[in-house]
Amino acid sequence: MNDALRTLCARLGYQFRDESLVESAMRHRSYVAENDGVESNERLEFLGDAILGWVVADLVYRAHADLHEGKLTDLRKSLVNASALAEMAEELGVGECLLLGRGEEQGSGRTKTSILSDALEAIFGAIYLDSDAQTAHRVLTTLMSARLQGAIDGLDRLDAKTRLQELASRLLSEQVHYKIDDEGPDHDKTFYATVFVGDRELGSGEGRSKKAAEQLAAEIACDVLAREHAHD
């Protein structure tokens, strides 16, 4: 196991008994197409997707007895969608461990949302095969619990980006756009978002993900427009 995979396992909080499983989880189909005799991570991804769905459904159900079925579904989706999983994969350092074909290697394969999210699900499948359902549940629950409150906060804000676009269109007939900056290493980035309505800067925010930073910036912009047009 190379240093990048050791770092990944440390961040996961799990050490593999069968290291070939986590190595398989890193093997994208583009790599397999150029190397005979090895299997891609797609079967592990299939398994990990099912395990992740079970763990997250159990987590949100037990943690929030006050939420109705529709809100539970929205919360689960916000935790397991490809963008959310890709962000987690970046923080864990999955991109540095991927085995890619030449085309993906030379392109943006190591930062591509679909490749990162699929590889993370494959890792979850590998953990299950290397241990058992109880251990996989524990490891994944620890990882997902750290992101649960952020997901809830995002739902509670009722998608400020959507509200801002509606306000900008209705009040000003203008479009909304965002400028994103970031700093820090790939596994520990802070994102900064500035939101513009037309050519006017109306708000800024920061967060651990692009989405979180944009939502905070949009909230501020919504407040500005609401105050300015309170009597319209």
The model's pLDDT over 57-115, given as tens digits with 9 standing for 90+, comes to 999 999 888 778 887 888 898 899 998 999 999 999 999 999 999 999 888 889 999 99
pLDDT of residue 157: 59
Calpha distance 21→173 (Å, rounded)? 54
pLDDT of residue 156: 60
- Classify 199 as helix, strand or coil: coil
The amino acid at residue 88 is: M
Calpha distance 195→197 (Å, rounded)? 7
Q: For domain 160-228, which architecture applies?
A: 2-Layer Sandwich (3.30)
Taking the domains of the chain in order of start, what are their residue ranges?
3-156, 160-228
Task: Tell me the per-residue pLDDT of 146-197, one tens digit each, with 9 for 90 and over.
Answer: 888 777 776 665 578 888 988 899 888 999 999 999 998 877 889 999 999 9
Domain 3-156 has CATH 3.40.50.1580: no
Confidence label for 232 from pLDDT (cuts 50, 70 and 90): low
pLDDT of 10 above 90: yes
Which residues are CB-contacts of 17 (< 8 A; sequence separation ≥ 6)? 130, 131
Calpha distance 42→165 (Å, rounded)? 38
| Nearest in space to 148 (alpha carbons), one of 79, 54, 220 | 79
Calpha distance 116→83 (Å, rounded)? 9
Please list the active-site residues.
Answer: 49, 121
Q: What are phi and psi of 207, to 5 degrees?
A: -170, 175
| Nearest in space to 8 (alpha carbons), one of 191, 106, 143, 144 | 143
- Which pTM value belongs to this model? 0.69
